Each structure stands twice: as structure tokens, then as C-alpha cells.
Amino acid sequence: MTIRLTKDIKYIENKCKKVRKLIIDSLYKAKSGHTGGSLSSVEIVTTIFTAFLRFDPDDPFKRERDKFILSKGHAAPVLYVNLALNGFFNIFELNTLRFNNTRLQGHPSREKLPCIDASTGSLGQGFSIAVGYALADKIDKLDYYTYVVLGDGEIQEGQIWEAAMSASHYKLDNIIAFLDHNKLQIDGEIKNVMNVLPIKEKFEAFGWDVIEIDGHNISEMIKAIERAFNIKEKPHLIVAHTIKGKGVDFIENKVKWHGIAPNKEEYYNAIKQLGDI
């Protein structure tokens, strides 16, 4: 069953609302997890899955396909929800997030859930794996893309810059990276914890094609990805300016919501704010 891709903006916007509600629901039932970064990356991940990612949920290991890696693995709920909505497993399995022996671990586990392309959570490693996938496709002369999503705190890791250097060296124009640039991490603002700014100029110095967009604007996201398709011999970074906890006012831009789940009162408040689908 090959998924039909669509760039219908209204459709993707409505799907993002559903994704947010399912993230909140699964985190509430789990009573633990990473709320802020899951919500901030909804438009990024959902647009990739809905408009661009060429895959077959009935044949997840097919060699001829695009790859997707959530390098900021703590935002696993946004990945699981998109996998469920695209037929990789029954949507009711989202109710098992972080339960004992579940396939939906707190960080994506390929051992538990083989349809994902990489186990992630150790910050920086997913990016290196993505570079490896892109290089393998180049060597095998396959015309497919590897999409990878990074976090702000993650790009403080040295391994990120080794991978960035490798991607440029091998002219991997078939990798499109996204930075979920919400400016916060578990310990506070990135500029205060370990300043990585300016991001655009740093990646450009490493030989990357870089563009900055509103990470919650579907139209900008689609145009940025299409732009990357037309720039050759350089890897691509889309710096998506986002709001941590996007969609729920008492979660937005709050550092404490990096790694906690809503209680009962907060859950019903969040679901009410997110509105009807």
C-alpha cells in the first residue's frame, strides 16, 4: 500500500491539529515524556510524511524509498503519531506509549519498532546515520532523499559537526536536514546553556545550503523542501523557527515542559485549546 502524497495546505494543517491532539493524549496516558519538543516539530514531521516521503508501510525496508530519521529522539510522540496515521501500525497502539514492553519506547527503538529507520535519542547520532543513508544511496545511484530532524540542544554536540563536514565533503544533495529551532533545551535557552548561534552561517561555512523559515507555516515548509530539490552538490538545512509547545498556551515557550506530561486538568485544558479536528 503506497501512501498517496498531497501538498494540500488545508489538509496538512488539519492533520497537524489531529497530530497535536494525539500527542497530548498519548503523553497524558503515559504520564511521562517530552511535550514541548514534540509539539514544536509537528508541522515539520507531518509535512514531510504527508507531502514528500516516498514509502510503503507494507514494505518498510524496501531499498528504493526515502528515509526519515528523528535525530532528536526524545520527541518520539510526533514520529509515532505520523507513523500510525500513515498505516505503519494501528492508531490505538499510541495508547501504549512508554508502557512496559511497548513497541513505542520513550525514544525510538528500531529493535522494538522495526519500521523506523534508526534508533535515536543519544543526541547527534541520528544525524550521522542519516548521512550514512544518503551516502549509500549516492553510491548505489538511487534517486531518493533522507530527511532528518535535529534539535537545538542536539547541535551543541561535536558529532553533529563531524557529520555536517562529511555530508558536504561527499556533496550529499540528497539529504535534507531540519532544525526544530525553538531556542530552548532542557536546561534553558540555548544561547545561555551553550550558544550555537549563528546557525545559518555556521552550516554555510561547513558547505551546506541553508534557508530559514517559519516552522509552523506549511506553505513555507513545502517551498523550502522543493527549493532543496533544485540545488545540487550541497546538503540542505532548513532552519525552522518554531515555538516550543506550540498550540497550547500554558506550554508554549516554557522550559519546564521539555520533559513532562500533562496532568488531568492540563490535559483537558490542552485538548479544549486544540479544538475540533
The CATH number covering residue 37 comes to 3.40.50.970
CB 122 within 8 A of CB 93: no
Is 3 among the domain residues?
A: no
Is 185 among the domain residues?
A: yes
CB 16 within 8 A of CB 43: yes
CB 33 within 8 A of CB 98: yes
The pLDDT score that the predictor gives to residue 2 is: 60
Is 212 among the domain residues?
A: yes
Is 4 among the domain residues?
A: no
The pLDDT score that the predictor gives to residue 60 is: 87
Reported pTM: 0.97
d(CA 156, CA 151): 9
pLDDT (tens place) for every residue of the chain, 277 residues total: 567 899 999 999 999 999 999 999 999 999 999 999 999 999 999 999 999 999 988 898 899 999 999 999 999 999 999 999 999 999 999 999 999 999 999 999 999 998 999 999 999 999 999 999 999 999 999 999 999 999 999 999 999 999 999 999 999 999 999 999 999 999 999 999 999 999 999 999 999 999 999 999 999 999 999 999 999 999 999 999 999 999 999 999 999 999 999 999 999 999 999 986 5
Is 1 among the domain residues?
A: no
Domain residues for 225? 9-274
Number of domains the chain is built from: 1
Q: Which residues 6+ apart lie within 8 Å of 12 measured at CB?
A: 6, 43, 46, 47, 50, 51, 218
The pLDDT score that the predictor gives to residue 1 is: 56
The pLDDT score that the predictor gives to residue 61 is: 86
Is 259 among the domain residues?
A: yes
Is 2 among the domain residues?
A: no
Is 73 among the domain residues?
A: yes
Cis check: omega of the bond before 108, within 30 degrees of 0: no
